[in-house]
Structure 1
Amino acid sequence: MTAFAAVDVIRAKRDGAALSDEQIRWVVDAYTRGDVAEEQMAALAMAVFLRGMDARETATWTGAMIDSGSRLSLDVDRPTVDKHSTGGVGDKITLPLAPLVAACGAAVPQLSGRGLGHTGGTLDKLESIPGWRAALSVDEIVRQLNDVGAVVCAATEGLAPADRKLYALRDVTGTVESIPLIASSIMSKKIAEGSAGLVLDVKTGSGAFMKSVEEASELARTLVEIGTAHGVATTALLTDMNTPLGAAVGNAVEVAEAVEVLQGGGPADVVELTVALAREMLALAGLPVDPAEVLASGEAYETWCRMIAAQGGDPSAPLPRPAHVSVVEAPSDGYLSVVDAYAVGVAAWRLGAGRARKEDPVQHAAGVLCLAKPGERVAKGQPLLELHTNTPDAVPAAREALTDAIGIADSPPEKRDLILDRIT
């Protein structure tokens, strides 16, 4: 590989030039090996943040991060398809979706992460289940995909090590929001997982990282372009994240709600998004199956039980319950017009459901239950939110986060669509 001077690569991007494929591959490889210093990559990340990257640069950057590690070789006898969400509040969709799509005949290798800040992590939620374990070897992943059809676990160490290193650097240098860097971070890990198809749930609104529809659309298009450039059939749905998904925000409470969906109940919005994403995944997998029928049949719940048991969990065990519950009441009569997703996510985090640093523990029983949805008529004093925690001292800070989270109006708000767009 041709060697370059790091400062020349930095200057080129600082001045608005498009980096060559050779420059990109060299700088990502050299940074991963430690030959490009942290301060130099920080400067390059800021240059990318300010100047951007075109589609070719972003695809090459993604490929270089994939090539920094290994790729999973998924020797399974079903078509493989994966899903990724850009993160939201109450977003437990992976939990019912993976077993549902598996019950329809696909293999779903869902390598997931942990929560940080106001957005929850799938692994934290599943660890509410007694005995369940997140860390699996590649052999265990492949065996479970063949036996059950779905696995939700932590990413293996060898996948895209450049991304792990760069992500930590971006977090402390104010360059997280760069769309090329976000997109390449997501797609390097997903492509390295080895699935033939990928469906993206790109969220927009107060509880999402992309606040505006325009930003979210740009990110979705960039993600789809990268997937296509790397030979992965990719589709994206743009979905609303101004209001929490479902009623439950936290860990154990979200698992309980996911089980309700798998058993034929659950909130309408969670069911709607689960089925919509399942249809997209099955289309990419070439399986002409109606996921709504499979969900109603109970087969997806049976697959859930097998998936949890395969990873050491007891699907019938009671989930953790909070030691303390506090209620937020409606301040007046009227129609509930707003339940702000970001504020609810911060409240759940302060109650112990999330973490401020990656090494922090979480309370599996902590979280928020939303007892009403926008559009419903409420009466003054009616319970609107339940705050769950094992540490009552955390309640005042959670209530403070919710100061402007609830809106009451004289007339019902305009109904918002959950699915805003489809991008291919």
Structure 2
Amino acid sequence: MSTHHTVIIVGGGQAGLSMSWHLSRRGVDHVVLERDRVGHEWRDRRWDSFCLVTPNWQVDLPGFAYTGDDPDGFMSGAEVVAHLERYAASFAPPLRQGVTVTRLRRGATGVFTLQTSAGSFTADQVVVATGPYHEPAIPRIAERLPTGLAQLHSSQYRRPGQLPDGDVLVVGTGQSGAQIAEDLHLAGRRVHLAVGSAPRAARRYRGRDTLAWLDAMGHYTKGVDEFGDADEVRLRANHYMTGRDGGRDIDLRAFARQGMQLYGRLREITGGGITFAGDLAANLDNADAVADGIKNAIDGWISAQGIDAPAEQRYTPVWQPPPGERTLDPGELGAVVWATGFHRDHRWIQVPVFDGRGYPTHERGVTSCPGLYFLGLPWQWTWGSGRFAGIARDAEHLAGRITAPRRLRAAEDVIWLAGTAPETVAA
């Protein structure tokens, strides 16, 4: 088996498979290296009740649009895995599973070398399709909690019965934190939730799923370059809602009325307990304001298009938090779930294409290093880039660059080598 390929794709999830589909259609020699197996991230980093937040009709991979009988429903994690397996079977990509890439370098001749668990590979071009969620991020403040208190990251959470008896503190209200808090709450566990600055959105508004309105309004195809603060846009938290039980809002205020204990951001852990900032009211108000702003935009679009859509009464807050900081005794807790996101881990990529925050610098996935591309990053080009909705478009764009005339890539190579230190390009 040859270890040199025209293109090597690192990652066999939805992004890597989409890239492979386009290259296969163009007859480009390539291989997909997947460290585990297809759908790994959906198998091993999701809880039992997990569902997609985006509707099934948005699961539109290249050459494999959703054709099921529930387009407005929301796939479970197991259904996502099965869908990806069927996708791979539909065109039989050159996929090698169980191969971990440990180092990527580019030699002076322009050829990439990849060290892997299956030996060394070389390629003329490389697509990194490993996504943005690599290493669980747990803040160092966690070390101050009592030694015997069970702690786990959201990627390790599976079900309420997995946790020891007692109250549960969930830290973080992005999509994972809000949904895990709901999962525990619905199971009858007493939940303490540290609420951050993540925004929320209504699941449905004026007779349609909110995301269907936003899709019709063109939000999924709006390029990141149309925003004045593109770098900050890429770092924004996603709006929390859920696809569970057919999809619904996540209303933290309603949970509070039902007994969930809400706090502001976790600020400090000392011998006196866990202290939370007094910003809960502001965080809840800001989340509601974002949801209301989305509704305003939908109203404006409905009016401009002359669409006949039923009117809907706006949300009224059902609970208001008390002012000031709050403190929680860790002795009340049986477990802590850290829904605090992930760190990117691109240390294996030894090519200088990263900014000071470790983010790959690129233009629609095309880096300054000729032949090196990224696919599947949040806001890689549009809001849909990191979702099933936009991967096909991004993969097609990169396929066009990969198969561009050789003279164009050679000219890019001259520019790259002229601005790169010799030790950087040495093999």
TM-score between both structures, scaled by the size of structure 1: 0.26
Q: Which has the higher helix share?
A: 1
TM-score between both structures, scaled by the size of structure 2: 0.26
Tell me which structure has the larger Cα radius of gyration. Answer: 2
